[in-house]
Amino acid sequence: MDRRLPPREGEWIDRSRPVKFRFEGAAYTGFAGDVLSSALWANDVRLLGRSFKYHRPRGIYSLAGHDANVMVEDGRRTNIRGDLLSIEPGLDVRSVNTSGGVERDRLQIIDWFGRFLPVGFYYKAFHTPRWLFPFYENRMRKVAGLGRIHPDNKYPPSPKDYAYCDLLVVGAGPAGLAGAIAAAEQGLQVLLVEEQPRPGGSLTWQWAGEPAADQHLFGLLEKVEAFDNIRIRCGTQVAGCYGDHWAALIDDDRLTKLRTKSMLVAAGCFEQPAVFQNNDLPGVMSASAAQRLIHLYAVKPFGKAVVLAANSDGYRAALDLHNAGVVVAALVDLRHDGEPTKLAQMVADVGIVSHTGHAVYEALPARGKKRICGAVICPLDRDGNPRTESSIRIDCDGIAISVGWTPNVGLIYQAGGRFHHAEQVEQLVPLELPAGLFAAGRANGVFDLGDQIDDGCRAGLAAAAHLDRFDGEIPDSPKHQVAAPTHPYPIFAHKRKKNFVDFDEDLHLQDFENAHQEGYDNIELMKRFTTVGMGPSQGKLSNINAIRILARLNGASINETGTTTSRPFHRPVPLGILAGRRFHPQRRTPMHNWHVQAGAEIMHAGAWLRPEYYKAGGQNRDDCILNEAANVRNNVGLIDVGTLGKLEINGPDAVRLLEHLYTGRFRKQQVGRLRYGLACDETGVIIDDGVIARLADDRFYVTATSSGAAAFYREMQRWALIFDMDVTLINATGQLVAMNIAGPNSREVLQELTESDLSKDGFPYLGVREGIVAGAPAKLMRVGFVGELGYEIHVPASYGLHVWTTLMQAGERFRIRPFGVEAQRLLRLEKGHLIVGQDTDALTNPYEADVAWAIGKNKPFFVGSRSLDIIQKKPTTRCLVGLAFGDDQPRPMPSECHLIIADGEIAGRITSIAPRSTLGHSIAMAFVTPELAAVGTRVKIRADDGCIVEAHVAKMPFYDPESTRQQ
């Protein structure tokens, strides 16, 4: 049956563009502009989904995304809301969480077992016997959950956006439009954001039946268009409001991060359900949903309807239904005194029978429960209790409910606003708004249409005044109307307990009474125990009724009962939109591409990319690394160490600062010489090390670890301030590159590129020189990290690639080869040099790491010294030593962090290990207990699978113990 109405003014569908789509395997046609729910309803498809727990049939409820009755998946996307999904050609969706489709869902049988499954039933059972719980949990997990993920789904990268404005207006209904205009008139830059595809808010559906309303809408929109300084964005939600007026705007494509100076929330209200037996079945919906069907999508909601009302909106809705050709069999008004306005007469004039002081007590399901076939109404006594003995049955296929509203003000809560329950309107209204935050319209408890517009205007002016753009008089908010538009307790008990308070979680009235009985009697405990408000609609339709029920059970007021916090997001937001394009900064040296061309296996070292090793002639990784290392020992190698921290410390207090920051002494360090620098934090833990080169009396050039450089520089700056040092500090890490040429032939290779004196006497070990290398201004340092004759060359980054390639060319006849991080680690291990962060951990002090020699004698103070004084008085618990392995070891060898075991106790761990070295045997560095630290001690290491590998403590350096090679 086609329920589509004839074309009407203001409809959102485009009848010139029919759209074919599929739902649950069946084909339907709708129009462009339809959402899935409206298109299906137009095709008289009412069974749109199944509820989470009981798998009860569900249809349209709010048609505004306030409920989660209609959730579908399309084989790629999941948990799509039917109310918010615009139909497109080719759409093919199925309901989530059914077993066998929405029509025949096998799990609907759970509805019969409701009496065994009261709220929190799963806390009461399934946990014993213990061994059976995993089975139960497995079954529960399969039944819980809604949509499925699709492992092959690729989400297109969604670039984020930024926006700025003076005033963000949330909601383009009458109050929002008026507020935007009033603010724009004062010159504010206004951004007006509307979550529906078109502006107008309640003017498009609640007032659409009235000619005056159309004029309002047209007039307001025209004015908005006329202002250059009002930007309007539809189809966009303000998902969350964060500190310093930072707001997340979400549309179908992207996240826009908005910085505004003020915010006006005019986002209206969520229409609230009445709680009665079977109030969740298809055909029972909020009156606003029926109005949206009629006015926006031109769909006749029902054939025959009962309207349940407690306000003027319900009467207006009854007239809309009547005018759309629906037989309104009854208008049931919870209020004993009925409707005070002329709407009462208008309804009577068209022949609709009103029953004042009555309630809908029960919706009667048709066979299979997939639609309703009638309503049972009862008179209410003076206390609001239904007198079921006088009930009347009315045939109908729809019940439209208009019993009250709750403001859509989550954003105000997030911004720190506070609310209280106002009895005049029986809803929460703002009590205290932080500076720069405003509310208007129904969100502010103002319901008369003219008043809403005035209230919006007031708020816009208030925003302008807040920003010092208006100093005129600002009117007060209009007084709340006489009759509250919200009924304080539209909730009726029923012994068969299918009167739902939370549709997402299938919670009925009795569930709350049970929870209260069990002691979950404050709003937070009740929420957590019942899970009310924790489903996909996050309580938009259930929180207020839950609070009312709890208040009544406690004999307390709403204000005493309180509310739960509102958290982002207003409507759920896809991870893909929050993630955007997922930038991951990378740092590369200028020689990066050269390394890649040369066959480097690139590794990540923090944000830096570095060559781990260079692939050569079909050899495996271990062979490549060993060969690179051997080539350094025998010929000459070149490594890119550009990731090193490079810091300049200049000025009269340079020495003083160095002596405060490092453990060593530098006062007497000669110009042109290097010293090792070891730095600790205030607790005496090693945090960095490097080389300290003196270029002049008051100029030092310092290297730091790649990973620690930024933090170390930062702390250096702070200490310079605290110690009141006259220094200039420069972090040149990115400005300069560094490479190390090492090996017996390194001097010859380098000499080809520089006029500097590289002779043994002219440039001794631990010297530093400034000169020109391959035309580049360079600092040259003779460091000993890998244990061969070698020079570390630091040049400006723009020269880096040139110097590198020139060195490689010059070194060809000396069999130069590049070497990577792994080869360097092997070479330095052979020399017994520790790597901070590898051979030290978050608690290692210099005594344990065998670098106490780097602590200057008789130094009055350095960072960490006082702590080290305390630490030194305590017995050492571990020592960093070298280990050597014999040839007769089982393979595989241990790895880093395998433990040393002595007498069944943990006695240390490996920190660095090289199963193969240029020495021909395996070596390692390890922490061991002091008892095991003596050279020659045999130690046992527990490797994989509990295998014990033996080694003995060896003196370091393993290679070239006299360090003659590097001199």
Partner 1 sequence: MKIITCPINGPRPLQEFHFGGEVRTMPDATAATDAEWADYVFNRSGEPGVKREWWYHVPSGTWFIAERDNCTDEFLRTYLYRAEHVDG
Partner 2 sequence: MPYRLLKFALHKKHPEPRMFRAPAELRSEYDVVIIGGGGHGLAAAYYLAKDHGITNVAVLEKGYIGGGGTGRNTAIIRSNYLTKEGVNFYRGSVELFEDLSRELNINLFYSERGHFTLAHSPASLNTQRWRAEVNKHLGISSEVVGPEFIKRKVPEIDLKAGGHQAPIYGALYHPPGAIARHDAVAWGYARGADQRGVEIHQQTAVTDVEIRDDEVAGVHTDKGFIKTRKVLSAVAGWTTNITAMVGLRTPLVIHPLQALVTEPLKPWLNSIVVSASLHLYVSQSSRGELVAGASLDPYELISMRSTLDFAEGMSTGLLDLFPCLGDVKVLRQWAGLCDMTPDFSPIMGTTPIKGFYIDAGWGTWGFKATPISGKTMADTLANDHDHGLIEAFNLSRFKRFELVGEKGAASVGH
Contacts with partner 1 by CB under 8 A lie at 242-244, 246, 257, 682-683, 713-714, 717-718, 721-722, 724, 729, 731, 860-861, 865-867, 870
Whether the CB-CB separation of 659 and 862 falls below 8 Å is answered with: yes
Residue nearer to partner 2 on the CB measure, 255 or 753: 255
Q: How far is the CB of 250 from partner 1 (least distance, A)?
A: 16
Residue nearer to partner 2 on the CB measure, 477 or 510: 510
Question: Which of partner 1, partner 2, none does residue 573 bind (CB under 5 to 8 Å by kind)?
Answer: partner 2
Q: How far is the CB of 85 from partner 2 (least distance, A)?
A: 12
Strand 167-170 and strand 190-193: the pairing is parallel
Q: How far is the CB of 714 from partner 1 (least distance, A)?
A: 6
| CA-angle at 443, arms to 439 and 449, nearest 5° | 100
Spatial distance between the Cα atoms of 440 and 181, rounded to a whole number of angstroms? 13
Question: Which of partner 1, partner 2, none does residue 853 bind (CB under 5 to 8 Å by kind)?
Answer: none
Q: Considering only residues 255 through 274, tell me which ones interact with partner 2, judged by CB under 8 A.
A: 255, 257
843 contacts partner 2 (rule: CB under 8 A): yes
Q: How far is the CB of 900 from partner 1 (least distance, A)?
A: 30
Question: Which of partner 2, partner 1, none does residue 668 bind (CB under 5 to 8 Å by kind)?
Answer: none
Q: How far is the CB of 684 from partner 1 (least distance, A)?
A: 9
> If we measure between CA atoms, which residue out of 668, 666, 644 comes closest to residue 654?
666
Question: Which of partner 1, partner 2, none does residue 841 bind (CB under 5 to 8 Å by kind)?
Answer: partner 2
What dihedral angle (degrees, nearest 10) is formed by the CA atoms of 819, 823, 825, 829? -130
In degrees rounded to 5, what are phi and psi of residue 181? Answer: -65, -50
Residue nearer to partner 1 on the CB measure, 135 or 242: 242
Q: Could you tell me which residues come within 8 angstroms of residue 496 by beta carbon, excluding any fewer than 6 positions away? A: 277
Question: Which of partner 2, partner 1, none does residue 714 bind (CB under 5 to 8 Å by kind)?
Answer: partner 1
CA distances from 448 to 182, 210, 520 (A): 19, 14, 39
Strand 500-502 and strand 437-439: the pairing is unpaired
Residue nearer to partner 1 on the CB measure, 660 or 665: 660
Question: Which of partner 2, partner 1, none does residue 128 bind (CB under 5 to 8 Å by kind)?
Answer: partner 2
First to last CA, the chain: 96
Residue nearer to partner 2 on the CB measure, 178 or 263: 263
Which of the ranges 133-141, 217-225, 227-235, 442-450 carries the binding residues for partner 2, by CB under 8 A? 133-141
Q: Per-residue x/- marks for partner 2, 401-440, CB under 8 A?
A: -------------x--------------------------
Residue nearer to partner 2 on the CB measure, 208 or 924: 924
CB neighbourhood size of 77 (10 A): 16
896 contacts partner 2 (rule: CB under 8 A): yes
Whether the CB-CB separation of 262 and 180 falls below 8 Å is answered with: no
Question: Which of partner 2, partner 1, none does residue 722 bind (CB under 5 to 8 Å by kind)?
Answer: partner 1
- Total residue count of the chain as it appears in this document: 967
Residue nearer to partner 1 on the CB measure, 364 or 573: 573
Question: Which of partner 2, partner 1, none does residue 89 bind (CB under 5 to 8 Å by kind)?
Answer: none
> If we measure between CA atoms, which residue out of 248, 289, 265 comes closest to residue 67?
289
* Residue choice 18, 89, 100, 145 for contact with partner 2 (CB under 8 A): 145
Q: Phi-psi bin for 748: left (phi > 0), alpha (psi -120 to 50), beta?
A: alpha
Q: Per-residue x/- marks for partner 2, 214-243, CB under 8 A?
A: --------------------------x-xx
Spatial distance between the Cα atoms of 80 and 103, rounded to a whole number of angstroms? 19
Residue nearer to partner 1 on the CB measure, 202 or 733: 733
Residue nearer to partner 1 on the CB measure, 685 or 884: 685
CA distances from 386 to 157, 315, 490, 491 (A): 56, 22, 11, 10
Residue nearer to partner 2 on the CB measure, 116 or 476: 116
Question: Which of partner 1, partner 2, none does residue 137 bind (CB under 5 to 8 Å by kind)?
Answer: partner 2
Question: Which of partner 2, partner 1, none does residue 902 bind (CB under 5 to 8 Å by kind)?
Answer: none
Q: Could you tell me which residues come within 8 angstroms of residue 84 by beta carbon, excluding any fewer than 6 positions away? A: 35, 65, 571
Question: Which of partner 1, partner 2, none does residue 718 bind (CB under 5 to 8 Å by kind)?
Answer: partner 1
**DSSP H/E element including 139:** helix 133-143
915 contacts partner 2 (rule: CB under 8 A): no
Q: How far is the CB of 598 from partner 2 (least distance, A)?
A: 21
572 contacts partner 2 (rule: CB under 8 A): yes
176 contacts partner 2 (rule: CB under 8 A): no
Q: Considering only residues 851 through 870, tell me which ones interact with partner 2, judged by CB under 8 A.
A: 867, 870
Q: How far is the CB of 585 from partner 1 (least distance, A)?
A: 12
CA torsion sign for 211, 212, 216, 218 is positive
Residue nearer to partner 1 on the CB measure, 285 or 680: 680
Q: Considering only residues 575 through 614, tell me which ones interact with partner 2, judged by CB under 8 A.
A: 575-576, 578-580, 582, 584, 586, 603-605
Whether the CB-CB separation of 561 and 523 falls below 8 Å is answered with: yes
Q: How far is the CB of 429 from partner 2 (least distance, A)?
A: 23
Whether the CB-CB separation of 364 and 393 falls below 8 Å is answered with: yes
Spatial distance between the Cα atoms of 423 and 429, rounded to a whole number of angstroms? 10
115 contacts partner 2 (rule: CB under 8 A): yes
Which of the ranges 343-351, 529-537, 696-704, 711-719 carries the binding residues for partner 2, by CB under 8 A? 529-537
Q: How far is the CB of 668 from partner 1 (least distance, A)?
A: 23
Residue nearer to partner 1 on the CB measure, 730 or 948: 730
The residue count for binding partner 2 (CB under 8 A) is 101
Spatial distance between the Cα atoms of 540 and 536, rounded to a whole number of angstroms? 10
**Tokens found for residue 480:** 């709340």
Q: Could you tell me which residues come within 8 angstroms of residue 888 by beta carbon, excluding any fewer than 6 positions away? A: none
683 contacts partner 2 (rule: CB under 8 A): yes
Residue nearer to partner 1 on the CB measure, 458 or 656: 656
Spatial distance between the Cα atoms of 763 and 670, rounded to a whole number of angstroms? 13
Question: Which of partner 1, partner 2, none does residue 391 bind (CB under 5 to 8 Å by kind)?
Answer: none
CA distances from 960 to 46, 873, 919, 955 (A): 86, 35, 10, 11
Which residue in the block uniquely carries the two structure tokens 């200057």? 856
- Beta strand residue intervals within 503-566, DSSP E: 507-508
875 contacts partner 2 (rule: CB under 8 A): no
Q: How far is the CB of 862 from partner 1 (least distance, A)?
A: 10
Spatial distance between the Cα atoms of 171 and 202, rounded to a whole number of angstroms? 10
Question: Which of partner 1, partner 2, none does residue 431 bind (CB under 5 to 8 Å by kind)?
Answer: none
Q: How far is the CB of 243 from partner 1 (least distance, A)?
A: 5
Q: Considering only residues 920 through 959, tell me which ones interact with partner 2, judged by CB under 8 A.
A: 942, 946
**DSSP string over 360-423:** EEEEEEPGGGSSEEEEEEEEB-TTS-B-GGG-EEEE-SEEEEE--EEE--HHHHHTT-EEEEET
718 contacts partner 2 (rule: CB under 8 A): no
164 contacts partner 2 (rule: CB under 8 A): no
Question: Which of partner 2, partner 1, none does residue 576 bind (CB under 5 to 8 Å by kind)?
Answer: partner 2
> If we measure between CA atoms, which residue out of 606, 623, 715 comes closest to residue 660?
715
Secondary structure of 726-774 in HEC code, one letter for each residue: CCEEEECCCCEEEEEEECCCHHHHHHCCCCCCCCCCCCCCCEEEEEEEC
